Amino acid sequence: MFGLTGLLAFALPNALGLFLFGALTQKIARRDSGPESLQRFFSKWSKPFRLSFYLYQILAITLTVFAIVHYLFEPLILPEREDGIVVFILFLCLTVLIVLSAACLFGEEFNIKSLKYGHLIQFAILAIAIGIILFTLNPLSVLSPELLQPALFADLRFQGYFIPVMVGFLVGPWLDLQQWQRAIQIHKENTSITASYFFGSVQFFLMLLFHGVLALFIIRGFPDSFNVTSVVGLDYAHSLVVQFLNNPVTASPTWLKGAYLVFIGICILSTLDSGYVALKWFLSEHVNSSKNMLLSLIPKDLISSPIPSYIFAGTFTLFACVARLELEYFMVFYASFFVGYEVLGIARCFVPNSQNPLPQIRMFAMGSLSVVVFAFGYFLDVPILMILSSLLPILYVLWLVFNTDLLRVVSEKAEEVIDAAAEIPGLRAIAKSDLLQISGKRTEVTSGSHFEGKWFVHSFTTSYSDTNSVGNVYFAMYAMFVGKAREMFFNVCMPGFDLKTTDFYILTRSYEHKFIRESREFECLSVKIRVSEYNRKFVTMEHQIFDSSGQLLGKGQQSLFFVAAKDYRPIDIPQQVLTAFMPYL
């Protein structure tokens, strides 16, 4: 559509987005120790985005299947048929079935550990196919300095495509399950994520450049030989290379056509099989921790299998081919709908105080609005609307993060005012009441304890009995502090719990704590504790310990399980506990 300049404007953000994802996830992985650090982070970070991850992956699979069927097999096989719509649909069904069967076969054959070896073999074959095409056609001969047109960046129509492409590709990997699974596995193998993604992004850029230059070579060398349609005044030629190889006029040799089919086939297969492995990993992880009772009625193997998702992708591909949809109708979601989720996800990784609950309905409404705005701009040829569609979600997320931070500052200042007012005798009784709301954020429940959002905070002052011979707080006391805060939290959540009449006991399954700073006697400490996640059997509680200046002294988590009071038999989480904890999740 825009020549070599357009190709680079497409390929560079694509490769740069991959590299930045690798570099930033490397920083995230280094926040904690151990090869499982990135896995632990992803398990917690991804919970609010689970549906977005799934929809993103389904769209990626459907787009890939649609592209190979509509732009490769249709122009290669179907134009020669004149048997009518029934045979056309039959060929489409068979083609989709072949693609899905190959993807599922390779996806079941490999896992994330062995997949890289399969891809290494595929890449070697792909390199040979590229070499054959380069040697035979020499498409690089078309490259020349005059093909670059920097002036296009000042063209509003060009910007209408370039800005959504740039935004979508720069933040796109953050909702891609394939990228997260690869980054997690790379870190588990004690390999640099940054270096791996640098080489991967360069490889991907060269592949995009090769394919784009091949199309540019055909357009410049054979401008009148192929069917290039016009969409809103621009050339549209997704199947151009296939038409060239399959055209009797050009008479391409069979082995050249075969080399191109190998190139495209490996590109598609390496996407679909890794998508299968990533989707299987994601579904299995979250089915095990699901709290949805309806899902428990469906066989676990069926829910965690990617096959139903792939069947949906194939079915929708058939519909899209018959309805004559185009690739842009799929890709627009990457440049608009998912942008808000991706930017908010990045903010929750790096921006303090952005851990507010995900406003699912508002985010969905904003994403849908962005898609509609882009559609109007695309079909009416109004580039400013296409640009706006990609920027609206970013602006909305910035407002969400800033607004949350502003509320935090106001709340903290309000607390300072209340504390100062407590020194006035007439207001002291009000300030020391058992129930006190400050900006809807902090709620006093007992003396020295309160809620901050979902966190239960227990504050106290250390004494000599908490210290060792050196004078700092003895390491084992921190576990005692957390234990007391947990009991206070339970007492608030379940005030009617009685050991004499209870049908169940709550036991500690595991406990871990990371020491960061030391503390001394007569220092005011605050232990924050909350329920971070749970499934049918276990509850995970997260804790943090701060000193009076707000410095983090340590953090960790513990796992709880439940047993029957009569025989200590492990049981599911009692309904009483679910009801008590639900307001604090």
Same domain for 483 and 519? yes
The predicted pLDDT at position 445 comes to 56
Residue 518 lies in a domain: yes
The DSSP symbol for 237 reads -
Percent of the chain with pLDDT over 70: 85
Q: Are residues 522 and 462 in the same domain?
A: yes
Pairwise CA distance, residues 78 & 133, whole Å: 24
How do the pLDDT tens digits run along the chain, 585 residues long?
Answer: 788 899 999 999 999 999 999 999 999 998 888 888 999 899 888 888 888 999 999 999 999 999 888 888 887 776 555 556 767 778 778 888 888 888 888 888 888 888 888 889 989 999 999 999 999 988 888 888 777 888 888 889 899 999 999 999 999 999 999 999 999 999 999 999 999 999 999 999 999 999 999 988 888 887 776 666 666 566 677 888 888 888 777 777 888 889 999 999 899 888 888 999 999 988 887 766 555 555 555 666 777 788 889 999 989 998 988 888 888 899 999 999 999 999 999 998 887 655 666 788 889 999 999 999 999 998 888 999 999 999 999 999 988 887 754 444 444 444 444 444 444 444 443 333 333 333 344 455 555 788 888 899 999 999 988 998 888 999 999 999 999 999 999 888 888 788 888 889 999 999 999 999 999 888 999 999 999 888 888 899 999 999 988 889 999 999 999 999 888 899 988 888 887 877 777
CATH number of the domain to which 541 belongs:
3.10.129.10
The DSSP bridge partners found for residue 504 are 564
Same domain for 150 and 102, yes or no, is yes
Q: State which of 311, 332, 353 marks the end of a domain.
A: 332
378 lies in the same domain as 501: no
Backbone dihedral region for residue 494 (phi beyond 0: left; psi -120 to 50: alpha; all else: beta): beta
In this structure, are 537 and 405 located in the same domain? no
DSSP labels for 182-203? Answer: HHHHHHHTT--HHHHHHHHHHH
Res 140: pLDDT: 87
pLDDT tens profile 162-174 = 999 999 999 999 9
* 304 shares a domain with 447: no
Residue 484 lies in a domain: yes
Amino acid at 271: T
pLDDT of residue 402: 77
What is the DSSP code (8-state) at residue 572? P
Residues 344, 205: one domain? no
Tokens of 265: 């086939």
Q: Is residue 431 part of a domain?
A: no
pLDDT of the residue at 449: 84
Q: Are 184 and 39 in contact (CB under 8 A)?
A: yes
pLDDT at 412: 47
Helices then strands, each counted (H, E), the chain: 20, 11
Q: What is the pLDDT of residue 395?
A: 94
Domain boundary among 381, 405, 426: 426
C-alpha 168: how far from its chain's center?
Answer: 13
Residues 318 and 340 in one domain: no
Q: Same domain for 269 and 367?
A: no
pLDDT of residue 507: 92
> Are the C-beta atoms of 413 and 424 separated by less than 8 Å?
no
Q: Is residue 395 part of a domain?
A: yes
Q: What is the mean pLDDT of the chain?
A: 83
**Residue 432 forms part of a structural domain:** no
The reply to whether 89 falls in a domain is yes
Which structure tokens are listed for 37?
Answer: 């650090």
Find the farthest-apart pair of alpha carbons in the chain and give their distance in angstroms, rounded.
98
Would 166 be classed as within a structural domain?
A: yes
Q: What pLDDT is stored for residue 510 in this prediction?
A: 94
Q: Are residues 446 and 460 in the same domain?
A: yes
Q: Do 236 and 364 belong together in one domain?
A: no
pLDDT tens per residue across span 385-429 = 999 999 999 999 988 887 754 444 444 444 444 444 444 444 443
> Residue 359 has what pLDDT?
82
Q: What is the dihedral of CA 119, 124, 127, 129, to 10 degrees?
A: -100
**560 lies in some domain:** yes
Provide the domain count of the chain: 3
Query: Residue 171 in contact with residue 343, Cβ under 8 Å?
Result: yes
Query: Does residue 292 share a domain with residue 340?
Result: no
Predicted model pTM? 0.68
Select from 399, 426, 453 the last residue of a domain. 426
Tokens of 455: 């966190």
333, 164 contact by CB (below 8 A): no
Instruction: Note whether 475 and 517 are within 8 A (CB).
Output: no
- The residue range of the domain holding 521 is 437-584
